[in-house]
Structure 1
């Protein structure tokens, strides 16, 4: 299977976060693969949460980048920022207006995590993708 990947810089503003999410998801949708619409919609939501968290909590600390990788192991979305604080997924109180993003990510993906880096961290989320779905578009159509 052909491997696809993209990396985008994300300026530390909320408008840039929305633009980066749209650009990242548009690139994933443009890859010559057959991914289910539900997976693409969920990937968009997950990318939005990870990018928004990075901008909200690390936007002033330095560069942020958003990445997506599609290969035999599945679809992986990563956001790298310069803030060394590792986020915690948890459910906030009912009156809280924020803090549900990572809880939502954890519920929607097959795997997620955080890797400390020498100058910051990588937040990632992975979706398992069937290789038969990925290669279905490259197969010739059969006529009956």
Structure 2
């Protein structure tokens, strides 16, 4: 599978998640990345959750998104300038937010947050389904009348 990459610098505004989601989906769905609808939808939700968290904690710092397709893995990375690493917690039924990391854990095959020199990097990976080999042939005996 051909490698692809998309990199975006995002504003630290509430509109950043929507902007990132639309630009990334346009690139990966319409750019010949060869991803199925299910993977595109999962990536869309992961991007939305990771960017929303980054904007919430970055303050006035910068936020960036990188989406990479390499071999059979789609990797989504969001970097921000806050050194505070996210920690999953039980969502409160009374709060509107607090469920983002649960969604990330449910959608991604792997995810993690790690400190960087300038803040942190949160990433998630989706393993792509293997495609059946094109070389498989079915040979049926012909019946003679």
TM-score, normalised to structure 1's length?
0.85
Structure 2: segments with no counterpart, 5+ residues:
136-145
Structure 1: segments with no counterpart, 5+ residues:
140-144
Higher helix proportion, which one? 1
Distance (Å, rounded) in 1 between the aligned partners of 2:21 and 2:128:
21
Distance (Å, rounded) in 1 between the aligned partners of 2:43 and 2:90:
21
Q: How many residues align?
A: 135
Cα displacement (A) at 1:30 = 2.2
Structure 1, 1-10 or 24-33: larger mean CA deviation? 24-33
Partner of 2:127: 128
Cα displacement (A) at 1:95 = 1.3
Q: Is the 8 A contact 1:21 1:47 kept in 2?
A: yes
Cα displacement (A) at 1:132 = 2.9
RMSD value, Cα: 1.9
Structure 1, 98-107 or 30-39: larger mean CA deviation? 30-39
Cα displacement (A) at 1:73 = 4.2
1:62-83 residue CA offsets vs partner (Å, 9 max, x unmatched): 1110110001140001101010
Distance (Å, rounded) in 2 between the aligned partners of 1:90 and 1:28:
31
Partner of 1:119: 118
Cα displacement (A) at 1:98 = 0.9
Give 1 or 2 for the bigger CA radius of gyration: 2
Cα displacement (A) at 1:23 = 0.5
Q: Is the 8 A contact 1:68 1:78 kept in 2?
A: yes
Distance (Å, rounded) in 2 between the aligned partners of 1:74 and 1:4:
11
TM-score, normalised to structure 2's length?
0.85
1:49-95 residue CA offsets vs partner (Å, 9 max, x unmatched): 001111111132x1110110001140001101010000012221211
